[in-house]
């Protein structure tokens, strides 16, 4: 599903953020992306989101070379990639339903379809009863779940998360990770950048470790939970 072939990324002002990186993830696989600050984690995620382009190498998603994607196909491609951020990026002048509905409205979905999909997404994250609440009135863990519902409302094939549990206590972090794992079980490929070593140990999933833009270890941990 995700295939990096000797990918390098150099920003105009900086040294290489990623160097000759190759990796493969299957559909439905869940992995953690680790490494010190500046190791290149966010850059790797941005390449998958098509927010940045490689300076060298190729990135194939579902067998398609992203470098050859026509400009007109980019919005459709992006809908298939859900993204969760640490700070939720929710709009506090709208209720939970409207926050989750936003990506669908931007894409021009009919109101009835919007309602159906938003409720399905809120159901998956256990927040169906909070659709009328303002996100400011929710706990940090609930706000993050609203962010996840918004990320999956387009039914993405890939779910990316950049430090999604950075502000949460261990119990809530584990809840969020369980949700990600459930999306993996539905066939979504899940890649989570995190510094949370305890969580990675508990989740027992593949760990991709970056150091100065290079993939220095790729530990495929036996999945004992399935």
- 42 binding ligand ATP? (CB under 6 A): yes
- 35 binding ligand ATP? (CB under 6 A): yes
Task: Specify the stretch interacting with ligand ATP by CB under 6 A; choose among 35-43, 58-66, 138-146, 151-159.
Answer: 35-43
Q: Which is nearer to ligand ATP, 37 or 225 (CB)?
A: 37
Interatomic CA distance for residues 206 and 223, integer angstroms: 9
Task: Specify the stretch interacting with ligand ATP by CB under 6 A; choose among 40-48, 53-61, 102-110, 118-126.
Answer: 40-48
**In the complex, what is the shortest distance from the CB of residue 35 to ligand ATP, in angstroms, rounded to a whole number?**
5
**DSSP H or E stretch at residue 202:** helix 197-203
3-state SS assignment for residue 214: strand
Q: Which is nearer to ligand ATP, 18 or 122 (CB)?
A: 18
- 14 binding ligand ATP? (CB under 6 A): yes
Within a 10 A sphere around the Cβ of 128, how many other Cβ atoms?
A: 15
For residues 77 and 62, is the Cβ–Cβ distance under 8 A? no
- 13 binding ligand ATP? (CB under 6 A): yes
- 41 binding ligand ATP? (CB under 6 A): yes
Between the alpha carbon of residue 140 and those of residues 75, 128, 135, the distances in Å are 30, 17, 9
- 11 binding ligand ATP? (CB under 6 A): yes
Judged by CB under 6 A, the chain residues 86 through 115 that form the site for ligand ATP are: none
Task: Specify the stretch interacting with ligand ATP by CB under 6 A; choose among 6-14, 63-71, 90-98, 196-204.
Answer: 6-14
Interatomic CA distance for residues 199 and 219, integer angstroms: 15
For residues 213 and 16, is the Cβ–Cβ distance under 8 A? yes
R_g of the chain, CA atoms, integer Å: 17
Residue ranges that bind ligand ATP, judged by CB under 6 A: 11, 13-14, 17, 35, 37-43
């Amino acid at each position: 599903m995700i295939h990096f072939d000797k990918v390098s990324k150099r920003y105009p002002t900086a040294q290489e953020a990623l160097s000759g990186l190759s990796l493969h993830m299957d559909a439905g696989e869940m992995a953690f992306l680790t490494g010190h600050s500046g190791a290149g984690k966010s850059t790797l995620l941005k390449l998958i989101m098509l927010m940045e382009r490689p300076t060298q190498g190729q990135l194939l998603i579902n067998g398609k070379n992203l470098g050859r994607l026509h400009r007109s196909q980019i919005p459709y491609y992006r809908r298939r990639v859900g993204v969760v951020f640490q700070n939720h990026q929710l709009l506090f002048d709208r209720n939970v339903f409207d926050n989750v509905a936003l990506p669908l409205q931007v894409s021009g979905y009919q109101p009835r379809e919007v309602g159906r999909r938003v409720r399905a997404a809120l159901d998956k994250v256990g927040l169906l009863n909070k659709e009328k609440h303002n996100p400011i009135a929710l706990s940090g863990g609930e706000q993050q779940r609203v962010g996840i519902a918004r990320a999956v409302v387009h039914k993405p094939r890939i779910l990316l998360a950049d430090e999604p549990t950075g502000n949460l206590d261990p119990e809530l972090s584990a809840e969020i990770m369980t949700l990600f794992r459930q999306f993996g079980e539905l066939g979504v490929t899940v890649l989570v950048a995190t510094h949370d070593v305890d969580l990675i140990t508990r989740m027992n999933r593949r760990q991709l470790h970056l150091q100065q833009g290079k993939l220095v270890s790729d530990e495929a941990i036996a999945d004992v939970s399935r």
